[in-house]
Structure 1
Amino acid sequence: MNAEFRFRPVSFSWVTIHPNPKGVVQFIGGAFFGSFPTLFYRYFFRQIFEQGYTIVALPFRFSFRHWPIAISLFQEQNIIAEELTKIAKQLNYKSDIYQDKNKYLWIGHSLGCKYITLLEFLSGEDSKNILDECTKNSEIQLKSIEDSLQKIQHEKLSIKGQGSLLIAPDISDTQSAIPKPLAFVAHFLDRVGLGVLPTRKQTQCFIKNSDLFNLTALISFNKDTIAGSEKDIYKDEKTRENSDVAWLITHLNNKKFGLIHKEIPGKHLEPLGIQIGNYIVDLNPLDKFIEPIASRKLEDLTISFLSELENRREQ
């Protein structure tokens, strides 16, 4: 049966259903580009689809309150699982896989990675105690979490056993969400309690204290000035603290199972692009804009990491 690469709207997401899937990839991208994922990440999606994955593209929603958005992904996953089963049966495609939560994987790019890390953290049994420890005197944040969690059945509040691939992760807070010339605005918003929650420091605290994040892979780029790169590990303390890639490599390697990681040539927006002939156009004039397909490394590495995450889960 030929696999047709075609996205259709399902719930709040876009899905392209493989007739004989070996897994389901759930993707959330970065600000702006992630709002139109089926356009800007099209070549990336097609390569994963052709390797046998059904793809769920979750459009990015901008907000300074990251908890409600992250928690809503629990609910969206549950809805999508039911809808995919129905659609697959109607198309005479393989459908039983959609009821197996272990067949779902996550891929995030840029700020989308933060939502995935929050989901994983909340899947831990000790998340409430860690929250209390990492967000002292943050009643607004704790109430936001509690209000959002009440809308979802408790047994469905977990992505435990689902691998995560973080691509150029940007664990953003108010300072990085607002352009540097307007840094005074970011400081003001944080001071009056209207800035990004959770902050980068709080998110790092969640990850560091969690016993999860053992099914995690990371792809970084050597010329990434937003998420950083592995070379930042060897620089001064301030650079290390501001480099999400360096921080994650350092701390996720201390987990029970070390981080799966590789750095490849490219900038922060490397995953973007549509195919035109033998070239990839990334629709971003501030980046390289166009490159030959033959020089792309990201998709092959992504597919390899997805397989490695599956093998690790089975072990």
Structure 2
Amino acid sequence: MANWEEIAGNSVLLPSQPKGIIHFLGGAFVATAPQVTYSWLLESLAEEGYAIIATPFLNDLNHSAIAQRALNRFETAYQRSGLFRRYLPIYGLGHSMGCKLHLLINSLYEVQRSGNLLISYNNYPARKSVPLVEQLNNLVEFDLEFTPSPERTYEILRSDYKPARTLLVQFQNDTIDQTEQLKPILEQHSPSLISYLQLSGNHLTPVNPKEWNWNPGSSFSPLDALGQWFKQQFYRDIEQLKKEVLRWLDPIVV
């Protein structure tokens, strides 16, 4: 069982001899307990020697403020854990809204990143992302939107994104992914540093429990067969994601 510890509000997993550090930020509605909702992927990366600092957050409309708090929490854990003494490469790993937060961190602040891995990037306006916002905006006195807005986010990236080696991952059955809009914007800075992959899966492929317990009944029914098929498909997709992430992190070893 993985030995997660809490440091400065982060969930931290430290291998005995880390070879790199991954700062993880998850999706909007599953980011409050990343050590649980993303346990399979994060623990698998830790088993390969990467220290994990997963920063939970509560979603609100001010994404710039969330990004700043996430960076501050990460930096505190980075210091308190003693990882700063090892001079290890630091990678940002984000899923869905977590991608936007890493992009803002890498644009608005002076950070040193060896690269960013952005999975299922999403930058929809508030009316498409948050329940009731569209209804509220129909009222004259309301005009709710994320800060920065989707349009302003792209402006920030065009002018301020610090060129970094970046992997963009899109899943074939992801209907809310916006990687295709993001890719040309990042390529304006340094196209040779941007890699792109399309993998089998959907928007929730990275969201996973460490163990998927499917207990068939006393007789193996069609429902049991369907459950086993989903389990196999699930692990096939996320195993492929893990392999590609590791290949990008260290192409010489994998």
Residue deviations 1:203-232 (CA, integer Å, cap 9, x gap)? 0111122352332111110111111xxxxx
Equivalent residue runs for 1:1-315 within 5 Å: 5-85=2-82, 97-99=83-85, 103-123=89-109, 158-179=110-131, 183-186=134-137, 188=139, 192=142, 194-210=144-160, 212-227=162-177, 244-256=178-190, 257-276=192-211, 290-292=230-232, 293-294=235-236, 296-307=239-250
Give the letter aligned to residue 135 of structure 2.
F
Shift in Å, 1:100? 5.6
1:89: which partner in 2?
none
Q: Which runs of 5+ in 1 are unaligned?
A: 86-96, 124-157, 228-243, 280-287
Query: Do the aligned residues in 1 keep the contact of 2:126 with 2:133 (CA within 8 Å)?
Result: no
Give the letter aligned to residue 108 of structure 1.
G
Give the letter aligned to residue 243 of structure 2.
D
Shift in Å, 1:75? 1.7
Distance 1:194 1:6, change over 3 A: same
Q: Which runs of 5+ in 2 are unaligned?
A: 215-227
Residue deviations 1:78-124 (CA, integer Å, cap 9, x gap)? 21122111xxxxxxxxxxx534666211100011111111111113x
Query: Do the aligned residues in 1 keep the contact of 2:27 with 2:98 (CA within 8 Å)?
Result: yes
Distance 1:166 1:294, change over 3 A: closer
Shift in Å, 1:255? 2.3
Residue deviations 1:3-51 (CA, integer Å, cap 9, x gap)? x731111111110111100011110101221112111111101110111
Identity of aligned residues (%): 22
Query: Do the aligned residues in 2 keep the contact of 1:178 with 1:186 (CA within 8 Å)?
Result: no
Query: Do the aligned residues in 2 keep the contact of 1:213 with 1:255 (CA within 8 Å)?
Result: yes
Query: Do the aligned residues in 2 keep the contact of 1:5 with 1:49 (CA within 8 Å)?
Result: no
Distance 1:48 1:205, change over 3 A: same
Query: 1:11, 1:278 → 2: CA distance?
Result: 32
Query: 1:59, 1:220 → 2: CA distance?
Result: 23
Query: Do the aligned residues in 1 keep the contact of 2:67 with 2:104 (CA within 8 Å)?
Result: yes
Structure number having the greater helix percentage: 1
Residue deviations 1:244-291 (CA, integer Å, cap 9, x gap)? 211112222232234111010111011011243799xxxxxxxx9943
Query: 1:206, 1:307 → 2: CA distance?
Result: 29
Give the letter aligned to residue 34 of structure 1.
A
1:236: which partner in 2?
none
Query: Do the aligned residues in 1 keep the contact of 2:172 with 2:202 (CA within 8 Å)?
Result: yes
Query: Do the aligned residues in 1 keep the contact of 2:57 with 2:70 (CA within 8 Å)?
Result: no
TM-score normalized with structure 2 length: 0.82
CA RMSD of aligned residues (A): 2.7
Give the letter aligned to residue 56 of structure 2.
P
Query: 1:202, 1:75 → 2: CA distance?
Result: 23
Distance 1:51 1:187, change over 3 A: farther
SS at match of 2:231: strand
Query: 1:289, 1:170 → 2: CA distance?
Result: 28
Give the letter aligned to residue 64 of structure 2.
W
Distance 1:24 1:76, change over 3 A: same
How many residues were matched structurally?
A: 236
